[in-house]
Amino acid sequence: EPEVTQTPSHQVTQMGQEVILRCVPISNHLYFYWYRQILGQKVEFLVSFYNNEISEKSEIFDDQFSVERPDGSNFTLKIRSTKLEDSAMYFCAGQIRGNEQFFGPGTRLTVL
C-alpha cells in the first residue's frame, strides 16, 4: 500500500539556519498540506498547496516559510531562518479531493 514518506526523520539545526523538510506524497494525490505539532500540543495547520500554488496558509506561515513542489513528486517546506520556537514535529499530508488526508511519519525539527 502506498504511503507518504518524509525525510529526514530528525533534523537538528542552529538558530538562524535554513532548513528544508521533504515529503513524497502518494502519486495520485492532488492536495498537499504541512502541519506542525509543538511538543505536547495539538496539531496545527500551516499551509495547503494545490495546482502548484498555495491555496491557504495560517498565521504561523509567515515570510520565513515557503513551500514548493519542484519536480512533481517531492513537496518541500523551507524555513529560511529558524527560530527556537520552530522546534516541532512537522507533518506532511496528501489528499484526493474531498477524501481523508494521509499523513507522513513526520520530521522532528530541533532548533538550538
Partner 1 sequence: AQSVTQPDIHITVSEGASLELRCNYSYGATPYLFWYVQSPGQGLQLLLKYFSGDTLVQGIKGFEAEFKRSQSSFNLRKPSVHWSDAAEYFCAVVGDSSYKLIFGSGTRLLVRP
Q: Which of 74, 70, 69 is nearest to 23 (CA)?
A: 74
Alpha-carbon distances of 37 from 21, 51, 70, rounded to whole Å = 14, 26, 25
* Number of shown-chain residues binding partner 1 (CB under 8 A): 23
The binder of partner 1 chosen from 20, 45, 66, 78 (CB under 8 A): 45
Within 51-70, the residues that bind partner 1 by CB under 8 A are: 55-56
The nearest distance, CB 70 to partner 1, in angstroms, is 23
Q: Determine if 102 is a binding residue for partner 1 (CB under 8 A).
A: yes
Question: Closer to partner 1 at the Cβ: 44 or 68?
Answer: 44
C-alpha cell recorded at residue 69? 513542489
Residues in touch with partner 1 (CB under 8 A): 31, 33, 35, 41-45, 48, 55-56, 91, 93, 95, 97-98, 100-106
